Amino acid sequence: MDPITPRLISVGLDYCACTAKAGLPGERLLAVGRGVVRDERAAGNKMQTLDWKGYAIERSGQASVGVRREDVLVTLSGTAAYLFGRSLLQLADHASRADLQVTMHAEEWDVPRLIWRARHDPDPHRREGRPIERHLIDNSRTGVTCYLGSAKSPQRGRFYDKHAESPAQYAVGTARLEVQYRHAPADAIRAECAADRLSENRIRSLVGRWFQTRGVLGAVSFPPGEPLGVPPRERTDYERHRQWLRQIVAPALQRFAADAAPGDLEADLGISQARNLNGS
């Protein structure tokens, strides 16, 4: 591909899911999240309520808030994430997911061809490690999309034709690059936001570097910048399992406790046997 300078259409968050602990941090996050939910409902979206992993969820349009005893959860997508995502990440204690996007246009671009190359003929690149998974999906309604990385990976990219997805809003030659960060990388994005570092240039640098090190759009000029600093995993396996017990298992047990006979839940979970093995 000949070197070109595409026109920037938009840069920002496309999705975020974050939490804050109960108390003042949770109240601040909840206030902003409920404000976005109200806006979504005022725009004509239906309000839904449900229970999920112990959270009492209120959802409308592109926003949802969840409340449980220990923390508050807020998720935003699309335009809501673009407008309010950074504010929420600055208030949050933790982020489980944060998606960054860069949308660009160039009249010279044959976007479906570029997407095909991302899957079948990527540029030479310097990324170390085993080859990443590359999936090409050709949808008759939304056009061609290339996914880079496993669906289970903490970092996964998506390269697609924005004109094919929304022809009334975007001209031919418009492409979108998205990187989905989950777990520790998502929390690293939150930390950058809390430090007021997640500027448009920083997002362009992170997204551009991510794709170019995987052989996509190597001729496009993106702002320079340091790679995302993801801290090493510090918690032990046992500590991670304890977190899973608190967040997933405990709310389920609380729902069943009223109907269970004394000792049934402990027996089902094998707690009595574990105590016997430990000699207690």
Q: What is the mean pLDDT of the chain?
A: 90
Q: 151-161, pLDDT tens digit by residue?
A: 999 999 999 99
Q: 194-216, pLDDT tens digit by residue?
A: 999 999 999 999 999 999 999 99
Amino acid, single-letter form, for residue 111: V
CA distance 122 to 131: 11
Residue 129, pLDDT above cutoff 80: no
Residue 2, pLDDT above cutoff 70: no
CA distance 169 to 186: 29
Q: 16-53, pLDDT tens digit by residue?
A: 999 999 999 999 999 999 999 999 999 999 999 999 99
Q: 131 with 219: CB under 8 angstroms?
A: no
Per-residue pLDDT, 4: 76
Q: Rounded mean pLDDT of 243-249?
A: 75
Per-residue pLDDT, 201: 97
Q: 174 with 161: CB under 8 angstroms?
A: yes
Q: 29 with 20: CB under 8 angstroms?
A: yes
| Long-range Cβ pairs for the range 200-208 (8 Å, 24+) | 200/11, 200/12, 201/225, 203/11, 203/12, 203/100, 203/102, 204/8, 204/11, 204/102, 206/100, 206/179, 207/100, 207/101, 207/102, 207/177, 207/178, 207/179, 208/102, 208/177
Per-residue pLDDT, 256: 77
